[in-house]
């Protein structure tokens, strides 16, 4: 099971490294999504990539409407971890 955990973490690190919006010089703004969720929006320095990071800081599932994030800037969004198109 240690190998599976290592492989999953390595995959996430490689995925993170490939995101221009997560560069240290990218713009970042925290979002108001309630007490149970810590959320922020980042945009790459060249403005080509926007990224929303939403973190549940509780031990219970939380609901979030996508309308609360104002996703109107692009025709579709992709969950980077699952690959699901939103």
Q: How confident is the model over 26-54, as pLDDT tens digits? A: 999 998 888 999 999 999 999 899 898 99
- In this structure, which long-range contacts are made by residues 19-25, counting pairs with CB atoms below 8 Å and at least 24 apart in sequence? 19/49, 19/51, 19/80, 20/44, 20/45, 20/46, 20/48, 20/49, 21/49, 21/50, 21/51, 22/51
Residue 67 has pLDDT above 90, yes or no: no
Of 12-16, 33-37, 66-70, give the lowest mean pLDDT range. Answer: 66-70
- The reported pLDDT for the residue numbered 5 is 97
Helix (H) or strand (E) run with residue 4 in it: helix 2-17
pTM of this prediction?
0.76
């Amino acid at each position: 099971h240690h190998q599976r955990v290592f492989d999953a973490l390595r995959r996430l690190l490689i995925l993170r490294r490939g995101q221009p919006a997560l560069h240290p010089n990218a713009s970042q703004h925290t979002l108001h999504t309630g007490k149970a969720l810590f959320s922020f929006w980042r945009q790459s320095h060249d403005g080509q990539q926007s990224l929303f990071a939403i973190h549940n800081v509780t031990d219970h599932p939380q609901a979030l409407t996508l309308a609360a994030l104002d996703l109107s800037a692009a025709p579709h969004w992709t969950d980077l971890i699952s690959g699901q198109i939103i």
